[in-house]
């Protein structure tokens, strides 16, 4: 008890009652109002040196300011500020229901009274003293500062409810801040795009959805920069370009000409080793291997020994010595195309940078009509034969594939689809 409570108990609840001291209205005839242990004057005052407490004059020096504990203002005679009857001096003001003397500062009925000083003000459900700053009901309040409501305490910046708690904004669940192609591209969409690659008249069985996903792991920014619309657009652009390079379609083909992408794995007529014209014998950095040819293979129809050599160095697979791997390995068949797509080859930017907005054309580029968009990727790939003049059928084919895939992927194509007004490199 405090001194004040002790004195009140002595006067009114203990000794005073048996000694005949005045308490409230029962003062006794021998007690003079305003004197010590007697009732206060009618105006609530006492003689000098005394103070009126609960209707009784007491020695002012006996009052306490709480050096033995918090002063009880509840008048419940238990030393408890919440009326729970446990005498703990609990400072909770909302009926915490435990009376544990914890001084819990929660003001919304946290239900534990653990003295943690939890600062949550929205009913976080644990009040563990974590100081959780979340104000949106994240469900963990573990002191993590999580503000996204995912309940994992990771500080995840994702705003779309990824639910993985890895600090990753893309929802793949690996915690490294990157994303995966599978986030925006499904097996069903792959199948809808490439309706005829496995037909008996085609040679595209080497191309698979899983091979595509595996290939993309070597280039983690592919289809992983920008908004989801931009990501899907880049994917549609890449698939459109490789579909043109490997198409088996024609104007009146079943399901239309743009359903026949990835029909071929090697340049037509070159599988037997007869296409020896793609060897630059003067290139000593990436010399041609004896008995090998460097005709078009894979999704981008990689050609020439110097391109095979550069891709080999980038991918860590010696396709310069063994170029046939590009036509027999599902991942390499697409990975070589991604290498070409993702790699800047000055003065050309990378097709990737063009499609995601990383490339800003110079004043000279603008004067030559080179502007960001799908048409610029065509200029990068084959501008010398297809750009800077009236649109040829090859460009129409590229655009047709791109538009179909953009529709399947539920994205937009953007502007500058053609390159007829662009100077080639």
Give just the sign of the alpha carbon dihedral 161, 163, 169, 171.
Answer: negative
From the DSSP assignment, how many helices (H) and strands (E) are in the chain?
Answer: 12, 2
**Neighbouring residues of 315: CB distance < 8 A, sequence distance ≥ 6:** 218, 332, 335, 336, 339
Question: Both ends of the chain: CA-CA distance in Å?
Answer: 92
Q: In this structure, what token pair is assigned to residue 102?
A: 């914890």
User: What burial class does residue 133 get, using C-beta atoms within 10 Å of its C-beta: 0-12 exposed, 13-18 middle, 19+ buried?
Assistant: middle
List, as one string, the DSSP characters of 234-269: HHHHHHHHHHHHT----TT-TT-GGG-TT--SB-TT
Q: Say how far apart CA 161 and CA 163 lie, in whole Å.
A: 5
- Whether 189 is a known active-site residue: answer no
Active-site residue identified among 189, 245, 266, 386: 245
- Could you tell me if 121 and 132 are in contact, meaning their C-beta atoms sit under 8 angstroms apart? no
Q: Active-site positions?
A: 245
């Amino acid at each position: 008890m405090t001194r004040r409570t002790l004195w009140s108990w002595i006067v009114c609840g203990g000794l005073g009652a048996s000694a005949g001291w005045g308490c409230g209205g029962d003062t006794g005839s021998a007690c003079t109002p305003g004197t010590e242990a007697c009732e206060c004057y009618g105006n609530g005052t006492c003689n000098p040196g005394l103070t009126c407490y609960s209707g009784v004059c007491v020695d002012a020096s006996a009052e306490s300011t709480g050096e033995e504990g918090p002063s009880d203002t509840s008048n419940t005679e238990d030393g408890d500020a919440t009326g729970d009857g446990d005498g703990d001096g609990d400072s909770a003001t909302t009926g915490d229901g435990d009376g544990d003397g914890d001084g819990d500062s929660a003001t919304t009925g946290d239900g534990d009274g653990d003295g943690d000083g939890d600062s949550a003000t929205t009913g976080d459900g644990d009040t563990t003293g974590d100081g959780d700053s979340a104000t949106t009901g994240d469900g963990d309040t573990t002191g993590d500062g999580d503000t996204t409501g995912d309940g994992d305490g990771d500080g995840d910046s994702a705003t779309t409810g990824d639910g993985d708690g890895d600090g990753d904004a893309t929802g793949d669940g690996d915690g490294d801040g990157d994303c995966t192609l599978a986030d925006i591209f499904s097996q069903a969409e792959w199948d809808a795009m490439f309706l005829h690659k496995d037909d008996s008249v085609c040679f595209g069985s080497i191309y698979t959805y899983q091979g595509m996903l595996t290939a993309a792991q070597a280039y983690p920014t592919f289809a992983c920069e920008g908004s989801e619309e931009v990501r899907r657009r880049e994917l549609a652009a890449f698939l459109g370009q490789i579909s043109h390079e490997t198409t088996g379609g024609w104007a009146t083909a079943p399901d239309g000409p743009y359903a026949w992408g990835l029909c071929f794995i090697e340049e037509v007529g070159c599988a037997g080793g007869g296409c020896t014209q793609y060897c630059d014998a003067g290139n000593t950095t990436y010399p041609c291997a004896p008995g090998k040819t460097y005709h078009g293979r894979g999704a981008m129809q990689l050609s020439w020994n110097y391109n095979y050599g550069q891709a080999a160095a980038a991918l860590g697979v010696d396709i310069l010595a063994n170029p046939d791997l590009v036509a027999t390995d599902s991942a390499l068949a697409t990975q070589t195309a991604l290498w070409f797509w993702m790699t800047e080859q000055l003065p050309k930017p990378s097709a990737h940078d063009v499609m995601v907005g990383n490339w800003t054309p110079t004043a000279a580029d603008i004067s030559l009509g080179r502007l960001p968009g799908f048409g610029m990727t065509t200029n990068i790939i084959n501008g010398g034969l297809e750009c800077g003049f009236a649109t040829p059928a090859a460009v129409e084919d590229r655009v047709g594939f791109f538009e179909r895939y953009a529709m399947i992927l539920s994205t937009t194509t953007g502007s500058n689809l053609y390159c007829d007004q662009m100077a080639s490199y």
